[in-house]
C-alpha cells in the first residue's frame, strides 16, 4: 500500500533576488515496508524533496500525500503531530542539541513521540546501542567524532519505531563498516517494522540494500512511481 507520495511536487525558492527551481514536478510513491534510495549530484534537489516528504517544507505546486491524506488539508496541529510522532528524520547536518548528551538528544525525540516515564531512558539506550554508541551515551556532541554524531542523529530518528524514516546522507560521515551497519539497520526497519524508508545518498554501494533506486538530476526525479 502506498503510504507516502509526492504528486507533481515542485519547490521553487524565491526571495526577490534569486529564483531556484529546486524540485520540478516530482511524482513518487513509497509503500510500507519499502526501502528506497534517492541519488543525484549536489544541488539536484534531494534535501528539498526529502524535506517536503517529511512535512517540513510545503511544495510550491503539487502535493504530498501521507496515508492517503494531502498535507495541505491537515491543520497545523495535525501536521505537527505527524512530524513528531510518525516521522523519523535524519538531517544531513545532524541537528543535534549541543548542550545535551547523546542520550538526552535521543530522549528529546522520544518524548516528542509520546514516550513517558522509564520507557524514555530504556528506548534511548536501545537506540544508541543499535548504532553501536552505548559507550558514548553521556558525551555531548562537541566531544564526539563526526561519525558518532551522525549515529546519534540516526538513533534519535529511529528511536521508538517511527512509521516513516527519511534519512539525508545518513552514511556521509561513516566508514565502510559503520555505513553498512546503518544501511542494514534501515533495511531491517523496513522489512520487520514495515516502515517506509527513504534514504538520500551519494554512496553507490547502497544499491545492494535497496528495493528501488531513484535518480535526481537538476530538480527532476527519474525512475519514479511505485515499485
Ligand atoms: N532556502 C533556499 N533558498 C534558495 N535556494 C535554495 C534554498 N535551499 C536550497 N536551495 C537551492 O536549491 C537547490 C537544491 O538544493 P538541495 O539542498 O535540495 O540539494 P541537494 O541535492 O540536497 O544537494 P547536496 O547533495 O549538496 O546536499 C540548490 O541549487 C540550492 O542552492
Ligand atoms: Mg542535501
pLDDT digits (tens, 9 = 90+) for 136-169: 999 999 999 999 999 999 999 999 999 999 999 9
Residue 130 counted as domain residue:
yes
Q: Which atom of ligand 1 is nearest to the CA of 219?
A: 14
CA–CA separation, 105 and 150 (whole Å): 12
Is 227 within a domain? no
Q: Would you state the pLDDT for residue 223?
A: 75
Is residue 12's pLDDT more than 50? Answer: yes
Read out DSSP for 193-216? H--EEEEEES-GGGGGG-SEEEEE
- CA–CA separation, 188 vs 186, rounded Å? 5
Considering the domain boundaries, does residue 61 fall inside one? yes
What average pLDDT does the segment 17-42 reach? 96
pLDDT at position 226? 44
Residue 20 scores a pLDDT above 80: yes
Over residues 189-207, mean pLDDT = 91
For residue 4, the model assigns a pLDDT of 97
Query: Is residue 128 assigned to a domain?
Result: yes
Domains in the chain, number:
1
Span from the CA of 118 to the centroid of ligand 2 (angstroms): 36
Summarised one tens digit per residue, pLDDT across range 45-80 is 999 999 999 999 999 999 999 999 999 999 999 999
Q: Using the mean position of ligand 2's atoms as its centre, give its distance from the Cα of residue 148 in Å.
A: 20
Q: What is the pLDDT, as a whole number, of residue 207?
A: 79
Tell which residue, 187, 184, 125, has the closest CA to residue 159.
Answer: 125
Instruction: Please check whether residue 207 lies inside any domain of the structure.
Output: yes
Pocket of ligand 1 (CB under 6 A): 13, 18, 20, 22, 40, 42-48, 92
- pLDDT at 225 (0 to 100): 44
Task: Give the distance (Å) from ligand 1 centre to CA of residue 92.
Answer: 12
For residue 38 the three cell numbers come to 534517492
CB-based neighbours (< 5 A) of ligand 2, an ion: 47, 92
Ligand 1, residues 22, 90, 221: which to mutate, most atoms within 8 A of Cβ? 22
- CATH code of the domain in which 12 resides: 3.40.50.300
pLDDT tens-place string over residues 120-136 = 999 999 999 999 999 99
Domain hosting 212: range is 2-222
* Mean pLDDT (whole number) for 180-202: 94
Amino acid at each position: 500500500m502506498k503510504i507516502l507520495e509526492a504528486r507533481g511536487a515542485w519547490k521553487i525558492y524565491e526571495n526577490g533576488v534569486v529564483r531556484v527551481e529546486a524540485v520540478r514536478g516530482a511524482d513518487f510513491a513509497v509503500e510500507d515496508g519499502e526501502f528506497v534510495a534517492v541519488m543525484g549530484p549536489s544541488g539536484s534537489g534531494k534535501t528539498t524533496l526529502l524535506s517536503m516528504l517529511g512535512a517540513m517544507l510545503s511544495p510550491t505546486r503539487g502535493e504530498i500525500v501521507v496515508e492517503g491524506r494531502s498535507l495541505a488539508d491537515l491543520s497545523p496541529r495535525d501536521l505537527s503531530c505527524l512530524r513528531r510522532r510518525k516521522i523519523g528524520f535524519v538531517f544531513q547536518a545532524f541537528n543535534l542539541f549541543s548542550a545535551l548528551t547523546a542520550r538526552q538528544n535521543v530522549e528529546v525525540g522520544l518524548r516528542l513521540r509520546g514516550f513517558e516515564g522509564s520507557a524514555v531512558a530504556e528506548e534511548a539506550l536501545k537506540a544508541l546501542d543499535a548504532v553501536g554508541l552505548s559507550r558514548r551515551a553521556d558525551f555531548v556532541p562537541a566531544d564526539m567524532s563526526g561519525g558518532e554524531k551522525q549515529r546519534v542523529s540516526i538513533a534519535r530518528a529511529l528511536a521508538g519505531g517511527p512509521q516513516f524514516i527519511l534519512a539525508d546522507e545518513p552514511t556521509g560521515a561513516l566508514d565502510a563498516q559503520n555505513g553498512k551497519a546503518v544501511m542494514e539497520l534501515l533495511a531491517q526497519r523496513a522489512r520487520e517494522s514495515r516502515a517506509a524508508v527513504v534514504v538520500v545518498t551519494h554512496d553507490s554501494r547502497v544499491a545492494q540494500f535497496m528495493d528501488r533506486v531513484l535518480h535526481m538530476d537538476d530538480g527532476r526525479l527519474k525512475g519514479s512511481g511505485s515499485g
